[in-house]
Amino acid sequence: MDINWIKILGLIVTVVMAFFTGALYGGLARVVTARIQNRFGPPALQNLFDIIKLYSKKTSINHGWMQHLGPVWAITASTTTLLFIPILRDSTFFTNLSFDGDLIFLMYIMVFGSLGMALGAGQTGNPNSAIGVSRGLSQLVGYKVPFILSLVALMIQFQTTNLNDLLAVQDSFIHWNIFQSPFAFLAGILAFLGMMGYKPFDIVFAPAEIASGPPSEFGSKYLGMMLTSRSIFTFAKLVLFVNIFFGGADNIFILLIKTFLLYMIPLLIGIVNPRFRTEQAVRFFWGFPTAFGIIAVILAAW
């Protein structure tokens, strides 16, 4: 078997880029939040400082091996998710591992990080973690329904389960899926709000309510790994949505603009909204977003 070194290099560059972009977006989000609250806000690299600091802390907590494995699991899952998404269209370097059927694969692999976190947090025995995990899984069940409906609608409409084919049909601005199948877009983007976990859907971490939920017993390096995984996963989700609905990107520069603008949607909605309760969040996702998703599937199958 010959090894494709270019591809392996592409994978490594992708992961590193995803981490730094995700962390930078997180920092910029804090700056934007601060400006809206009439504050000056932290430096844009604040999230990177936080992560370096967390990695440089010592730790001596031991609740059992699942606690040590949980963050590793989360980081593995988010990296895997990222690696199966083509970053740029028609690029040999950045197509990564995408294959026929990667959309179906992504549906599965995207929940793995949450599961790893849930198992790790469960072992710490902290009641706040348990509450956070149960909230997180409820919310997952909530937003997965419209998300999968919107993906299924696209799959039926274009008769493909390959992200590269989806990119190929969006060859010009008016062929973006946001115009070709607006109902799938509505369902997808509303599910995306839940996926990003900004208010009103930050019921999982809710620092003032359940003391940051699942990671409440995780400090230092464990928390650093969770934040790393979160940065990578944020970028993966953004690229996935840009690929599905906004025609992908031809070069890195356009990719950054598109992902950043997309990132602003949940953030700006979050800044001006209070937090939902768990059942409100689930009811929200099973209301209009699911209806949009069903309409999209019916229209596509027509």
Partner 1 sequence: MMNPNINEKDKRRIRDIVQDFARKHSLWVLAYGTGCGAIEIPPTMTSRYDAERFGIRGSATPRQADVLLITGYLATKTLKRVIRTYEQMQAPKYVIGFGSCTINGGMYWDSYNTINALDRYLPVDVYINGCMPRPESVIQGFIKLQSLIAEGKADGADKYQENLEWYRENQKKIIHNWKMPDYNW
Binding site for partner 1 (CB under 8 A): 30, 34, 37-43, 46, 49-50, 52-53, 56-61, 128, 207-208, 211-212, 215-220, 223
User: Angle 141-280-108 (CA atoms, 0-180°, nearest 5)?
Assistant: 15
- Cβ neighbours of residue 20 closer than 8 Å, sequence gap 6 or more: 48
Sign of torsion, CA 285 118 218 17?
negative
242: nearest Cα among 221, 224, 265: 265
Minimal distance in Å, beta carbon 208 to partner 1?
8
User: Angle 193-28-253 (CA atoms, 0-180°, nearest 5)?
Assistant: 90
For residue 52, how many other CB atoms are within 10 A of its CB? 11
CB burial of 67-86 (b: ≥16 within 10 Å; e: otherwise) equals: beebbebbbbbbbbbbbbbb
Q: Are 87 and 96 in contact (CB under 8 A)?
A: yes
Minimal distance in Å, beta carbon 44 to partner 1?
12
Minimal distance in Å, beta carbon 21 to partner 1?
19
Q: Which is nearer to partner 1, 19 or 158 (CB)?
A: 19
- Cβ neighbours of residue 249 closer than 8 Å, sequence gap 6 or more: 87, 88, 89, 242, 255, 258
Minimal distance in Å, beta carbon 289 to partner 1?
30
Q: Which is nearer to partner 1, 12 or 208 (CB)?
A: 208
Minimal distance in Å, beta carbon 209 to partner 1?
10
Q: Which is nearer to partner 1, 215 or 248 (CB)?
A: 215
The position carrying tokens 């309510």 is: 209
Q: Which is nearer to partner 1, 38 or 159 (CB)?
A: 38
Q: Which is nearer to partner 1, 53 or 283 (CB)?
A: 53
Minimal distance in Å, beta carbon 260 to partner 1?
21
Q: Which is nearer to partner 1, 131 or 282 (CB)?
A: 131
For residue 6, how many other CB atoms are within 10 A of its CB? 10
What 3-state class would DSSP assign to 110? coil
Quote the CA–CA distance of 258 and 269 in Å, as a whole number.
18
Q: Which is nearer to partner 1, 83 or 121 (CB)?
A: 121
Minimal distance in Å, beta carbon 50 to partner 1?
5
